[in-house]
Chain A
Amino acid sequence: MIASILGALVYAFVAALLLQGIRRIVVAHSQFRKAPSIFQSFYDFFKLMGKESLTPNVTSPLLFNLAPILSVASMLVAALIIPLAASASAVGAGDLIVVIYLLAMPPIALILGGSASGSPYGAIGAAREVALLIAYETPFIVAMVAAALAAGSLQLNTITATAWITILPLAAIAAIWTLPAAAAVQPFDIAEAETEIVSGPYVEYSGPNLALLQLGQWLKIFLYASLIAAVFFGTAIFHFQPAINFVIQFMIIALLISAFIAFWQATSGRTRVTRVLRYYWTVPTILAIVDLVLYAAGVRYMHFLFGWVGV
C-alpha cells in the first residue's frame, strides 16, 4: 500500500514534468526554433524551490500562501485516486465525482491566489479563470457522466475496465476537446495572457510559491489527460503484460498532450474571454449530451465496428 502510494506520487511528478518537456519540444519544432531540454521543467521547478518567496502587502496573506499548497495537495490526492500507469488506483478504489472536484482545485487555487494578491492583473486573471473553468468543465463533466452511466458505476476502477471510446466516441471527442482549455495554453491562456495582464494570478508569486502553483498546473494537465486516457482508452483493454500496457497508456497521454495541447497551442493565437463560453457550451457540450442521451435510450451505434471488443 505504502509502496504503491509512493510509486503513484513519484510517477505523477516525473511524468507531469516530462510531458511538459515533450509539449515544449513539440511547440518549438512547430515554430521553427530550437527546443528547450526535455528536463527544462525539472530545472525550473528546482531552481524556483531554492529561491525566496515574497508575500506582497495584501489583504489576505494566509489565502495567498495557502493557494499553491492547496493546488499541489489536491493534485497529489487525485494522483492516488486516478488509475495511473495502466493499473488500478493506488488507494484501491476511487470515485469519479471526487476526481472531478479535485481536478477543479488548481484553477480555484489560482482564483483565490489571484484575488488575494491585491493586484489588478491578478483580479482580472481570477475573473477570467472563473469563466474558463465553467466553460470547459461543462462538456467534460457531461462526457464523464456518460461514461459512468454506461459503466453503471462511479468507481473509476470499474469504469476504466472498458475503452469507452469504442462505445461513446462523441463523448470522448468532447472530453478531448476540453484538453487545451484545461491546460490553459493558447488559445485559452486568457487567465495568464502575459501581453495583456502580465500572467494574471501568477504576477505576485515568486520562489517556492510560484513553483508549487506551476507544479499544480502541470500535474493537473497530466492527470486530466490520464483520466481521459483511462476512461476512454481503458487501462488494460488488450490484456497485454502490465509493462506493455503501461507504455501504451503513457504513449496515449503523450499523444493527447502533443496533438491536442501543443499543436493547438502552436497554430493559434489567444482567444477572447467572451468567446470561450460560446465555444465550449455549443459543439462539445452538444456532442457529449447526444452520446449520453443515445446511450440512455439504448442506441449502440458503434456496435458494428467494435462489437468484437465484447461490451
Chain B
Amino acid sequence: MADVNERRFANLKIPIGPSHPALEEPARFLFEVEGEKVIDVDYEIGYNHRSIERLCQERPLSKVVYLVERICGICSHTHPLNHVERVEDIADIEVPARAKYIRTIYAELERIHSHMLWAGIAGHEIGYYTLFMYTWREREKVMDLFEMLSGSRIMHGCNTIGGVKWNVAEKQAKSALSVLTYLDTAADKITKAVLKDSNIAERGKGVGSLSREDAVRLGAVGPNARASGVPEDTRVMCKYAAYGDFDLEPQTAKDGDVVAQALVRLAELKQSIWLTKELFTNLPEGPIQVEYDEIPPGRSVGRTEAPRGELIHYTETNGTRFFERIKIRAPTLANIPSYVPKFLGCQIADIPIIAASIDPCFSCTDRMTVIKDGKRKIVSARELKAGRI
C-alpha cells in the first residue's frame, strides 16, 4: 500500500529546457516541485558547444581575434580585448594611450547595452512586456552608436594586436556625447520604472536570494557576486586598458535577490554612461596602432570584466603562426553553481526570473562536455591539444 500512496503523491518533475520560452539559449534544468514549491533542482549545460578553443589552434594567429569575437554576441568586445591583451603581454607590445581609451569606450558601451538587455529580459520573464519594449528601444541607440563608430552593430572588429582598427573622429565623439546624455535620462527612467513598481518589488524581493557566504563559496563573479555584497570588480582590481586612469567604485547591494541584481546593474548602467562620457571627453591624441614583429613563445593569463562578470583567458604561444593553446573561462560558468541556493524553495512562477537574474550566456560558457554512455570521461591535456576527444 505504501508504495501506491507514494506513487500517487510523487512529486511532479518539471523539465525546463533544453528548449523553453524562458531560456534564450539551450540549457536543461529539472525541477522537482511540491505544489508550486521547488524542492530540488538539477542542471545540465553543454548544448551549445562549438569547439571554439580547438578552432583557435587551427587558424593563423592574426585571425583568431575575429574568432574569439564570435564567442558571444553580447560580449563581442571583451573577448577579443582580453585576447589581444594576452598576446600583447606575451610579445611585450606597448599599446598607445588613445587605443587603450577607444578599447575602454567599446567595453563600456557594451556594458551599457548588455545591462539594458538584461533589464528587458527580466521584464519579459515576469510578463512585463512594456518594460521589455521600452528598454530594448533605448538599447537600439547604443547599437546605432556602435554602427556609427565601427560600421557594425554587433561584431565591431575593433581590436587588433597592437591597438585598435577604428579611430574616433571629433564629430563622432560629439554626437556620441549627445546620445549618452539622452541615455542618461533613459537610464533614470528605467531605474524609476523598475524600482518604483509594486509588482516588480513583489516578484523580486527575496526571490533568488544568495547570501554573501554562498556567493564567495560558490565562486560567483560579476554583478551576481556584487548583488550579494562582494565588492569584486575586475576593472578596479586589474586596471586593464584605460581603467587605471579613472576612480571606479564597485557597485554592490546586500540581499543577492532579483531586486538587488537589478539595483547593481542599474547603478552600473549609470556608472558606465558617466565613464563613457569621461572617456570621450578626455580622449588622448596620438596613434591608435603600433607595429609588431613576431609573437615569441610564451604564456599569459588575464582577466577582464565582461558585462556578466570576470572573464579569464589563458593564451599560450609557441613561436609559430599558430597558438599552442587558448583556454577561455566565461563568467556564466562561474555563476552557474549559484543557481542551486537561488532555486531551492522558490515558486514555479519565480523560475524564469531567477534563471535570468544571473544574466546567463550559455553559448559563451559551453567549452567542452564529453558524455559517452552516460559516463563522463576524463581527458588528458595532451589529448585535448591534439583534439582527440
Which residues on B sit within 8 Å (CB–CB) of A197? 14, 348
Q: B349 touches which one: A32, A186, A268, A273 (CB < 8 A)?
A: A273
Interface contact B347-A274, CB-CB below 8 Å = yes
Interface contact A196-B128, CB-CB below 8 Å = no
The residue in chain A whose Cβ has the minimal distance to the Cβ of B127 is: A270
Interface contact A269-B203, CB-CB below 8 Å = yes
Interface contact A268-B199, CB-CB below 8 Å = yes
**Bound-complex Cα distance A269 to B352 (A):** 13
**Bound-complex Cα distance A274 to B126 (A):** 15
Interface contact A272-B12, CB-CB below 8 Å = no
Mask, B8-40, CB within 8 Å of A = 1, is: 000011110000111000000000000010000
Mask, B36-49, CB within 8 Å of A = 1, is: 10000000000000
Mask, B133-150, CB within 8 Å of A = 1, is: 110010000000000000
**Bound-complex Cα distance A82 to B273 (A):** 58
CB distance from B201 to the nearest CB of A (A): 11
CB distance from A226 to the nearest CB of B (A): 27
How many chain B residues sit at the interface, stated as a range, is: 20 to 34
Interface contact B349-A272, CB-CB below 8 Å = yes
Q: Which of A270-285 contact B (CB under 8 A)?
A: 270-275
The residue in chain A whose Cβ has the minimal distance to the Cβ of B131 is: A269
The residue in chain A whose Cβ has the minimal distance to the Cβ of B23 is: A195
Residue A190 CB within 8 A of the other chain: yes
Residue B246 CB within 8 A of the other chain: no
CB distance from A292 to the nearest CB of B (A): 29
Q: A195 touches which one: B15, B22, B199 (CB < 8 A)?
A: B22
Residue B162 CB within 8 A of the other chain: no
Q: If the complex has contacts A187-B199, A196-B351, are A267 and B126 also in contact, measured as CB distance less than 8 A?
A: no
Q: B14 touches which one: A124, A266, A269 (CB < 8 A)?
A: A124
Which residues on B sit within 8 Å (CB–CB) of A194? 21
Residue A31 CB within 8 A of the other chain: yes
Interface contact A196-B123, CB-CB below 8 Å = no
Q: Which of B181-202 contact A (CB under 8 A)?
A: 197, 199-200, 202
The residue in chain B whose Cβ has the minimal distance to the Cβ of A268 is: B199
Interface contact A193-B199, CB-CB below 8 Å = no
Q: B348 touches which one: A33, A124, A268 (CB < 8 A)?
A: A124
Q: B130 touches which one: A30, A195, A271 (CB < 8 A)?
A: A30
Mask, A207-239, CB within 8 Å of B = 1, is: 000000000000000000000000000000000
Interface contact A195-B347, CB-CB below 8 Å = no
**Bound-complex Cα distance A273 to B202 (A):** 12
Q: What number of A residues sit within 8 Å (CB to CB) of B?
A: 28
Which residues on A sit within 8 Å (CB–CB) of B13? 120
Q: A193 touches which one: B14, B15, B127, B129 (CB < 8 A)?
A: B127
Which residues on A sit within 8 Å (CB–CB) of B352? 195-196
Interface contact B133-A268, CB-CB below 8 Å = no
Interface contact A32-B21, CB-CB below 8 Å = no
Q: If the complex has contacts A120-B14, A186-B127, A195-B125, are A270 and B349 also in contact, measured as CB distance less than 8 A?
A: yes
Q: A269 touches which one: B22, B200, B350 (CB < 8 A)?
A: B200
Q: A272 touches which one: B125, B130, B200, B347 (CB < 8 A)?
A: B347
**Bound-complex Cα distance A269 to B197 (A):** 9
Q: Which of B319-351 contact A (CB under 8 A)?
A: 347-351
Interface contact A31-B133, CB-CB below 8 Å = yes
Interface contact A195-B21, CB-CB below 8 Å = yes
Which residues on A sit within 8 Å (CB–CB) of B200? 269
Residue B124 CB within 8 A of the other chain: yes
Which residues on B sit within 8 Å (CB–CB) of A63? none
**Bound-complex Cα distance A287 to B15 (A):** 42
Interface contact A31-B130, CB-CB below 8 Å = yes
Interface contact A196-B348, CB-CB below 8 Å = yes
Interface contact B349-A193, CB-CB below 8 Å = yes
**Bound-complex Cα distance A39 to B203 (A):** 35
Residue A189 CB within 8 A of the other chain: yes
**Bound-complex Cα distance A121 to B127 (A):** 17
Interface contact B125-A273, CB-CB below 8 Å = no
Residue A198 CB within 8 A of the other chain: yes
The residue in chain B whose Cβ has the minimal distance to the Cβ of A123 is: B12
Q: Which of B127, B200, B347 has the most CB of A within 10 A?
A: B127
Q: Which of B130, B134, B351 has the most CB of A within 10 A?
A: B130
Q: B128 touches which one: A198, A269, A275 (CB < 8 A)?
A: A269
Which residues on A sit within 8 Å (CB–CB) of B349? 190, 193, 196, 270, 272-273
Interface contact A195-B134, CB-CB below 8 Å = no
The residue in chain A whose Cβ has the minimal distance to the Cβ of B13 is: A120
Which residues on B sit within 8 Å (CB–CB) of A121? 14
CB distance from B121 to the nearest CB of A (A): 10
The residue in chain A whose Cβ has the minimal distance to the Cβ of B352 is: A195
CB distance from A122 to the nearest CB of B (A): 11
Interface contact A198-B20, CB-CB below 8 Å = yes
- Beyond A269-B127, A270-B127, A273-B349, list 5 extra A-B contacts (CB 8 Å): A186-B127, A193-B127, A195-B22, A195-B124, A272-B203
Q: Which 8 A-B pairs have the closest CB atoms?
A: A270-B127, A269-B128, A269-B126, A31-B133, A195-B22, A195-B352, A186-B127, A31-B130
- Could you list 14 examples of A-B contacts with CB < 8 Å? A33-B133, A120-B13, A124-B12, A124-B14, A194-B21, A195-B22, A195-B126, A196-B348, A196-B349, A196-B351, A267-B130, A269-B123, A270-B349, A273-B36
